[in-house]
Structure 1
Amino acid sequence: MPDEEIRTLNRPDAAPAIPAPTRSADPASARKPSQPKPEPAWLGPVLIVGIVLAALNLRPAITSLGALFEEVRTGLGMSGTVAGLITSVPALCFAVFGVTAPRLSRRFGPAAVVCAGMAAVATGLLIRPFTHGAAGFLAASALTLAGIALTNVLLPVIVKRWFPDRVGTMTGLYSMALALGTSLAAAATVPMTSALGGSWRAGLLVWAVLALVAVLPWLPVAAAARREKRAAAGRPGVSVRADAGPKIVRSRTAWALACYFGLQATGAYITMGWLPQIFRDAGVSASTAGVLLAVTMVMGVPLAFVIPNLAGRMRNQGAIAVTLGLFGLVGYTGLYLAPAAGAWAWALLLGVSNCAFPLVITMIGLRAKSPAGVVKLSAFAQSVGYLISIPGPLLVGALYQHSGGWDLPLTLMAALLVPQIALGVLAGRDRTIEDECGMRD
């Protein structure tokens, strides 16, 4: 939708209030387009709660399964090939279903699609523990991941649409919630499973409750957005058709963001999937290796709030991308030279490096002028990025199996940070996709 049609919430510099209507002797005044009604006072707080709850649910479906994967694999009789397929499904689903987000957003509105996405997450998590075969488990997981993919793409759009003057703050808030949900599921799933009797089914089912709670605030938000859309359609001179947005493939910045997103996602999935094994192969106990992974994930909680706020105040975010990449290079070098002796330091450094995710999400919101541009850019960057990330964990596993050690995989992981840093510098430049594509907002 055009920028001039966007009304923001709790914004001190918003347009002045419209005076109460008065009778006019001029009949033409009655034919002037009616002014839009102000947003209801409750919408801002409920939106913030909804954004936080949605972000909390964007990773537990993945990390809770990772914590119990051996038990799930045994319980469902999965072959090694099927188990490998399941580990690659998240990135594939994020890429495939993320592409549909712009069209669904234009037709139903971003709030309604996020509401449906959260419902899909909850439904898949409710069904998954009751399946009795790999095919059913995979289908339920795909439903959950489809909902996550839509929400992944549209949360930056929600922020741009309702909080355009607080992109950094709101992105930091939901990035912090996302990191918290990721680390909480990784750390708490096994203890909760033991407390519930030791069944992996009970351990996975718990996370459906959190997803169901996340649906609730989006129901009134989606209803309010739908009423506003109907009201806007009835106002003369007001168009509710969303701008189709610029042709993203012509934008160098869009491609830089997509490739940067893909490389940071590659590093994150490799870390989540293989870091405990790296430590265990170096002589670290299994329990300590799990704690080290939790430390890496927890680092994202405070930094996911700090980095977007900092990035939102800067015209060029390239320096942050370089800094995060250098932390990763030092971390991988340490794992190569002394994995056990400096294990805590390497876990901390890689935790900082993995905060490239909140940075790239913030840059997506800053590199487009309008919500229509953000939805196109978000879908393009995330879909292409997740496709790029799919081979990484598989290649690391193949190199590990082929070489019998971690020297080659760690060399690859460090080497990938070099183009990631370069792409972060390109994506961080102060420009928008509309300007690059010759569009007018």
Structure 2
Amino acid sequence: MRDDETPLQTPTGTLSPAIPAAPRTDAPASPAGPAPWLLRLVVVGLVLAALNLRPAITSLGALLEEVRDGLHMSGTAAGVLTSVPPLCFAVFGIMAPRLARRFGPGAVVCAGMAAITAGLVIRPLIGGTAGFLAASALALMGIAVSNVLMPVIVKRWFPDRVGSMTGLYSMALALGTSLAAAVTVPMTEAMGGSWKAGLGIWAVLAAAAILPWIPLVRDRSSAPGQPAAHQAQAPALRITRSRTAWALACFFGLQATAAYITMGWMPQIFRDAGVSAGTAGVLLAVTMAMGVPLAFVIPRVAARMRNQGPIVVFLGACGLIGYAGLYLAPSGGAWAWAVLLGISNCAFPLALTMIGMRSHSGAGVVRLSAFAQSCGYLISIPGPLLVGVLYQHSGGWGLPIGLMAALMVPQMAAGILAGRDRTIEDEC
């Protein structure tokens, strides 16, 4: 993908001064880029932030039965709880571009990490379902704005390495997701069996993620990496006229539906099939861990392809086979189904990569990221709730798994449309 984002802005949002000619006499003066140490700090910040974008959710999935018992939740109420993440992502994610323009993306992500920390600390300390949901919403608010701004920060600081940097933080995100799924139950048992301690311990990792973003709080760039002329043109972009933007939003929403159903309900599917709680958590970890290597590979491959449709079809086929296995032999082939669904869930880093590729400019990526993710998460809200309702009223997992498989078909169709070689600027 070709980037026309020169000259680069410094972290304070002003154009860089010319480099003195003394060190080299054979090249013209050019704008100075960010200092190497600052770029390394951004990389560390991206990785630590990405590690914290899912543990608040997958740790809850691993302990959902204990939380339900402790808070006396019904199956429908638990379905509402698993629908809270996409709802918060949709509501708060749409605010991210405005917050980034006013305070800078670095400051917003720093505040997001602080909100995650506070929510994870408060959530286990409050009794009752309402308080638990409110504290969860605080953590999810921090995750929401950070979700939207990750592609923006990549475009801002690494405009010539969108694929590799998207792969890096996607890999860190998958690692944090699988780590929380795998070790939450063992850590809970080691700390006396209290689900409150098992959920609250993840606040430590979130607190560590605040630190590298503190020096970037002063980065007030309103449109990452864009000169003033490009910034002035950004509001004229009517993104709702872009068919690619709508296709990307639908693809993002349907893959998010599958991901949050998996994170919220897959351990319970295995436990109801006779698998122990610890093994069910490890199976979820396997599903999430598949994204660690693939989340690094898929964006790099996708960035080199003019059309990402073949990758969409491959990931969707893996999901359909995995759901068929869950329906026919949930415990007998549990490890195989976990691997296949983990491959299918790598539609998330693919969607992030396409967000970065479907716009010529950083300003366009800001708007497309907010639009696709906010609309997408709105689309994903009913899924986990409907699974809970179907599970409670049918008394089994046949209908919920059938729903999951059926949703994979429109996901593949939307992904094929979103993967075409075009940009939102061309369509708008």
Letter in 1 for 2:384: P
The structure 2 residue matched to 1:202, chosen from 191, 197, 201, is 197
Could you tell me which residue of structure 2 aligns to residue 100 of structure 1? 95
Please give the per-residue CA displacement for 1:358-406, whole angstroms capped at 9, x wherever unaligned.
1001100111111111111111111111111111122223333333333
Q: Distance in 2 between matches of 1:40 and 1:330?
A: 48
User: Which position in structure 1 is the counterpart of 2:25?
Assistant: none
Is the alpha carbon distance of 1:70 and 1:284 closer, same or farther for their aligned partners in structure 2, counting shifts above 3 Å? closer
Task: Tell me whether 36-45 or 111-120 shows the greater mean CA deviation.
Answer: 36-45
Whether 1:375 and 2:377 are equivalent positions in the alignment is no
Alpha-carbon shift at residue 264 of structure 1 (Å): 0.6
Equivalent in the alignment of 2:283: 292
Aligned to 2:399: 408
Give runs of aligned pairs for residues 238-387 of structure 1, distance below 5 A: 243-244=234-235, 246-387=237-378
How far the C-alpha of 1:20 sits from its partner, in A, is: 4.2
| Alpha-carbon distance between aligned partners in 2 of 1:335 and 1:77, rounded to the nearest angstrom | 28
Q: Distance in 1 between matches of 2:265 and 2:231?
A: 47
Aligned residue in 1 for 2:20:
19
Q: How far apart are the structure 1 equivalents of 2:272 and 2:186? A: 24
**Contact 1:106 1:241 (C-alpha < 8 Å) held by counterparts:** no
Q: Which moved more, 1:205-214 or 1:391-400?
A: 391-400
Gaps of 5+ in 2: 23-28
Paired residues in the alignment total 413
CA offset at residue 335 of structure 1?
2.3
Within-5 A mapping of 1:143-154: 143-154=138-149
The AA in structure 1 aligned to 2:245 is A
What residue number does 1:189 align with? Answer: 184
User: 1:113, 1:150 within 8 Å by CA — same for their partners in 2?
Assistant: yes
Q: Distance in 2 between matches of 1:331 and 1:8?
A: 47
The yes-or-no answer on 1:4 pairing with 2:6 is yes
Spell out the pairing of 1:166-177 with structure 2 (5 A cutoff): 166-177=161-172
Partner of 1:29: none
CA RMSD for the aligned pairs? 2.8
1:426 corresponds to: 417
Inter-CA distance 380–416: structure 2 relative to 1 (3 Å threshold): same
- The change in CA–CA distance for 1:245 and 1:122 in structure 2 (over 3 A counts) is farther
Give the TM-score, by structure 1 length. Answer: 0.86
Conservation of the 8 A alpha-carbon contact between 1:8 and 1:162: no
CA distance in 1, matches of 2:63, 2:371: 32
Opposite residue 179 of structure 1, the aligned amino acid is A
Give identity over the alignment, percent: 73
CA distance in 2, matches of 1:293, 1:169: 26
Which shows bigger deviation, 314-323 or 133-142? 133-142
Largest Rg, 1 or 2: 1
Counterpart-to-counterpart distance in 2, 1:188 and 1:302: 19
Aligned partner letter, 1:247:
R
Answer whether contact 1:329 1:417 (CA < 8 A) is retained.
yes
Find out whether 1:91 has 2:86 as its counterpart.
yes
Change (3 A) 1:300 1:396: same
Does the 8 A contact of 1:318 with 1:425 survive in 2? Answer: yes
The question of whether the paired residues in 2 share the 8 Å contact of 1:98 and 1:379 is answered with: yes
Q: Is the 8 A contact 1:308 1:362 kept in 2?
A: yes
Greater shift after overlay, 382-391 or 73-82?
Answer: 73-82
Q: What is the CA-CA distance between 1:301 and the residue it aligns to?
A: 1.0
Name which of 27, 30, 35 aligns with 1:40.
35
**8 Å CA contact retained: 2:359, 2:424:** yes
Query: How has the CA–CA distance of structure 1 residues 391 and 309 changed in structure 2, closer, same or farther, with 3 Å as cutoff?
Result: same
Structure 1 residues 375, 56: closer, same or farther in 2, change over 3 A? same
> Match of 1:243, SS?
helix
Q: TM (normalized to structure 2)?
A: 0.89
